[in-house]
Structure 1
Amino acid sequence: MFPELTRDDVFRLETRRLWLRWTRMADASAILRLAGEKAVAEMTAAIPHPYPVEAVEPFIFAMRKGNALGEHLVLAITPRAKPNELIGMIGAHKQATGIPFIGYWLGTPYWGKGFATEAVQALIDTLFTLVDVPAIDADTRVINPASRRVLEKSGFRQEGSFLKSLPARGGLFPCEQFRLDRSTWSALKSWGSSGWAHAPDLTPEIEAASGEPCPA
């Protein structure tokens, strides 16, 4: 599904404030520290809490391998001015339907700054530009209104609610399903270099986490 362009670790996406790049082994300590926080982990399907130290490097290797094989596209979220400083992760994954699924997480020190929205919109733009897909899927736990708002600001429409298996949480939990179709994205594609041209949001974003990518 993912093109040759994304299968080399020199691939990156740049936004006004962010640099999205492949993960590196040097990111291990930041992933352990940020993803392992309870506030982040509890909103995801597979990030354990506490996060085992021995799980970090195998996770990074798996994400890099999957990128190289075109199985997914998982990127570290970093400040554009400090591309070696991981602050979160974002990724797109294959589904049996042929429609990619996206998810993300941000460390708590970086909540409320609009970084998740900026990263999500950059990945959306890239997927619709490079991959011939009719839509993109995402979901979020019903107790995570901040992630819901990130998706809504990026053009996603809620498709309904369902029970999703969250292995690291120990069972099935209520989640909301979202979809952004290509025609809606095309209609919204009036943003410039500074981001999507949506009306300003007067409420702060928490932007904790949504879906994957998560360690096994």
Structure 2
Amino acid sequence: MFPDLFRDDVFRIETRRLWLRWPTARDGESIQRLAGDPAVAGMTARIPLPLDRATVDGFLVASRAANATGTGLTLALCERAKPGRAIGVIEIAPGTDGVMRLGFWLGRPFWGHGLMSEAADALIHAWFAWTPATGLEASACVANPASRRVLEKAGFVWSGQGIASFPTRGGEREIERFRLERGRWLALAAGERPALAAAE
């Protein structure tokens, strides 16, 4: 799915404040600490509590393998001033039904500054610019309005509500589903270009 450009571990996306790069073994400690925060893990279906280092290491190995084969793209978020420290993760990967989905989490000390919106915009742009994909899906817990705002700011459109299994929480949660079509992304991107040119 992803082209060769993305399949080398020197690949990165730079934004105004962030580096999005392949996760490495050195990220294990910060990922365990930040993703293992109940306020973060509690809004995800995949992060178990407590989060042990073996689980984190397995995630890192699996993510790098998917990146290398082009079946998905998982990137660590790092502040540009501290590119060796992961503060979150963002990915586009196949869901259980094979549909490609955007997923993300950000460490609690970094909430409220628009960093995840910045990262999401950059990865979504790469997705549509470098692959032939026609769309991208995502979901957010109803109890997580911050994630919903990230998706809406990126152009995603609400596509329904449902119940999702949260095996790491031992139950189910009410979620909202979202979709972004290539045509909508192109229209939004075209609308931004004049504003950027005027600002320069």
Contact 1:120–1:154, Cα closer than 8 Å, also in 2: yes
Q: For residues 73-93 of structure 1, what are the alpha-carbon distances to aligned partners after superposition, in whole Å with 9 as ceiling and x for unaligned?
A: 000000112110110000001
Superposition misfits of 4+ residues, deviation over 3 angstroms:
95-99
- Superposition deviation, residue 54 in structure 1: 2.1
Which stretches in structure 1 are left out of the alignment for 5+ residues?
196-216
| Aligned match of 1:204 | none
Aligned CA-pair RMSD: 1.7
- Per-residue CA deviations over 1:45-85 (Å, capped at 9, x if unaligned) read 11011111222212111111111111210000001121101
Secondary structure in structure 1 of the residue aligned to 2:86: coil
Distance 2:114 2:59 in 1: 26
Does structure 1 residue 179 correspond to structure 2 residue 179?
yes
Q: Matched residues in 2 for 1:136 and 1:178: separation?
A: 9
Distance 2:114 2:37 in 1: 20
Q: Is 1:67 equivalent to 2:60 in the alignment?
A: no
Secondary structure of the residue aligned to 2:45 is coil
For CA contacts below 8 A with separation 6 or more, give which structure has more relative contact order.
Answer: 1
Which residue number in structure 1 is paired with residue 130 of structure 2? 130
* In structure 1, distance between residues paired with 2:165 and 2:93: 17
TM-score of the two chains, using structure 1 as the length reference = 0.86
Asked if 2 retains the 8 angstrom alpha-carbon contact of 1:40 and 1:105, the reply is yes
Q: Corresponding residue for 1:50?
A: 50
Q: How many angstroms apart in 1 are the aligned matches of 2:172 and 2:103?
A: 18
- More helix per residue: 1 or 2? 2
Give the unaligned 5+ runs of structure 2. none
Among all aligned residue pairs of Structure 1 and Structure 2, give the percentage whose two residues are the same amino acid.
48
Equivalent-residue separation in structure 2 for 1:125 and 1:92 (angstroms): 12
Task: Tell me, yes or no, if structure 1 residue 84 matches structure 2 residue 71.
Answer: no
Indicate yes or no: 2:138 matched with 1:150: no
Q: How many residues align?
A: 194
Q: CA deviation at 1:95?
A: 4.6
| Corresponding position of 1:191 | 192
Deviation at 1:174, TM superposition (A): 0.8
Quote the Cα distance in structure 2 between the aligned partners of 1:95 and 1:48.
Answer: 18
